[in-house]
Amino acid sequence: MHRKIASAERPFPAPLVTALLWATSLNPLNSSIIATSLVAIATSFHVGAGQTATLVAAVYISSAVAQPAMGTLAAQFGARRMLVVGLGIVTLAGVVGAVAASFGWLVASRALVGIGTSAGYPSAMAIIRTQADARGTGIPGRVLGGISIASQVTAALGLPLGGALTVLWGWPAVFAANIPLGLIGAALALRWLPADPPRPKTTGRDVVSALDPAGIALFTTTIVALIAVLSDVRHPSWLLAGVFLLSAAALVLWELRARSPFLDVRALVRNGALVRTYLRQALALMGAYAMLYGYVQWLQQSRGVDASVSGLIMLPMSAVAATVAALIARRALIRGPLIAGAVAMLAGGAGAAFVSSSTGMVALVALSVVFGIVLGMTTTSNQAALYTQTTAAEIAVASGLLRTAGYLGAIFASALIALAFPATATDAGIHAIGWTIVAAGVVVLVLIVADRRLPRRG
């Protein structure tokens, strides 16, 4: 009796939350952990910087597609089951990368990492929603905030962790690290996460039907074509642009007719509030990532700051983002923090538009702090908004698409940086990035203020 009462009082005990945070943190960790080992990999396999960049792109592309796909599978076959399967794929990816005999196997390993880690977030959101609804607790702000904070912290820790592993044991250790990470995550999930409810026995045909392979193929083609077009925005390939437009149109037409659509276009049209959340997320993260990567380049090449110092300047961005997320998550605030994040985006963009090689160090650090506010406010509040805009049956897929929106924001940020810095990072380039962020901030602010369906809190 005592255990039942304790369970009722604590729908999210520490072990359960730990298992969820572990699983959801592996994707952002793997997005950054590879960066510091790219030079060693290039030397080992005699490849150039352009080829090693595919190791970064492989995770982004596979994650952008796999996040909603894993959400679909979690809704169909059970969230804990798919989370454990994903962690198994992460473990396999670690083995493949650690013993890779060619560069192609490293790319395959990174693609597997993207697929496996993509099960974490949508499955976790489905489990959280089920737990909260079963106990009538409302939106679990602290748990959702914990996921946002853990993602930001692990993404920041990925760089020094990858560097340490590379120095101590060589680049294979960066891939091999996923073996214990995956195994520990699976053990935590099996031990502490609630079992999935009984489901009818499934067959391979059921899996194929739930996944909509044609829809996934068209979605993948659309994403890859978009990335290819944006990778050289100064000299775009009109052929690739045509492939993007045709595949996007074919995707919409197919999904309107599909029995079990991978991307439920009709549902998105009906749920305009959710679409606006995706758009806010993509635009805000575009601004944040443009500053995260573009600002660092400018600090080093134009401002003349040493690489280690530029890292210290950007450190407050992650720290402030985590702190802000913790503060607003406790009360499940939505509308107010989103407005504050949009205003910070406007202020940060304007600040970037006026910095120069003579700008003082205090002002440079302050700009990093401002974008930490943008990151912490928007990601946490958009996550809470999504929670209120979907049902328990829809939240796994919807959460996967939220992550996909974030990846699209990162993709557009990379295109913006390439456009602003064609050869080197200049004052004129960072100013162009700043004004673009201001324009995006205006759109985000309008999307918030004009949205009457956006609640004050969850």
Residue 183 scores a pLDDT above 80: yes
Q: What angle do CA 83, 63, 143 make, to 5 degrees?
A: 50
Band of residue 362 on the pLDDT scale cut at 50, 70, 90: very high
Q: Are residues 175 and 227 in the same domain?
A: no
Q: Tell whether 172 and 228 lie within a shared domain.
A: no
Name the band, by pLDDT with cuts 50, 70 and 90, for residue 104: very high
118 and 165 housed in the same domain = yes
Token pair belonging to 140: 């679990």
Mean of the pLDDT values across residues 14-22? 95
CATH number assigned to the domain comprising residue 436: 1.20.1250.20
Q: Is the pLDDT of residue 6 over 50?
A: no
- Do residue 4 and residue 134 come from a single domain? yes
Residue-range definition of the domain harbouring residue 244: 213-259
Residue 393 has pLDDT above 50, yes or no: yes
Query: Is residue 174 predicted with pLDDT exceeding 70?
Result: yes
What is the rounded distance in angstroms from the CA atom of residue 312 to the CA atom of residue 129?
Answer: 38
In a domain, 117, yes or no: yes
Helix pair 204-211, 213-230: axis angle to 10 deg: 40
pLDDT computed for residue 287 by the predictor: 92
* One domain for residues 338 and 414: yes
For residue 233, being part of any structural domain is answered with yes
Closest CA to 174 of 362, 326, 37: 37
Q: Distance (Å, rounded) from C-alpha 299 to C-alpha 424?
A: 11
More confident residue, 318 or 113: 113
Query: Could you tell me if residue 279 is inside a domain?
Result: yes
Please indicate, yes or no, whether residues 318 and 379 belong to a single structural domain of this protein: yes
- Give 211-220 pLDDT, tens digit per residue: 788 998 999 8
CA angle 87, 188, 11 (to 5 degrees): 120
Question: Considering the domain boundaries, does residue 360 fall inside one?
Answer: yes
Are residue 37 and residue 140 in the same domain, yes or no? yes
Residue 208 lies in a domain: no
pLDDT recorded at residue 399: 92
How confident is the model over 62-83, as a mean pLDDT? 91
For residue 280, being part of any structural domain is answered with yes
- pLDDT of 359 higher than 80: yes
- Would 201 be classed as within a structural domain? no
- Provide the domain count of the chain: 3
- The whole model's pTM is what? 0.84
397 occurs within a structural domain = yes
pLDDT digits (tens, 9 = 90+) for 250-288: 999 999 988 888 888 998 999 999 999 999 999 999 998
Most confident among 5-9, 44-48, 235-239, 362-366 (mean pLDDT): 362-366
Residues 326 and 249 in one domain: no
Instruction: Give the integer Cα–Cα distance in Å for 314 and 371.
Output: 10
| For residue 8, pLDDT beyond 50 | no
Residues 291 and 312 in one domain: yes
Contacts of 406 (CB under 8 A, 6+ apart): 281, 282, 285, 379
Residue 80 amino acid letter: R
175 within 8 A of 162, measured Cβ to Cβ: no
Reported as a pLDDT band with limits 50, 70 and 90, residue 2 is: very low
Structure tokens at 338: 């989103």
Q: Confirm if 107 and 192 have CB atoms less than 8 A apart.
A: no
Same-domain check for residues 221 and 77: no
Task: Please check whether residues 299 and 406 belong to one and the same domain.
Answer: yes
Same domain, 170 and 32: yes
Q: What is the rounded CA–CA span in Å between residue 123 and residue 119?
A: 6
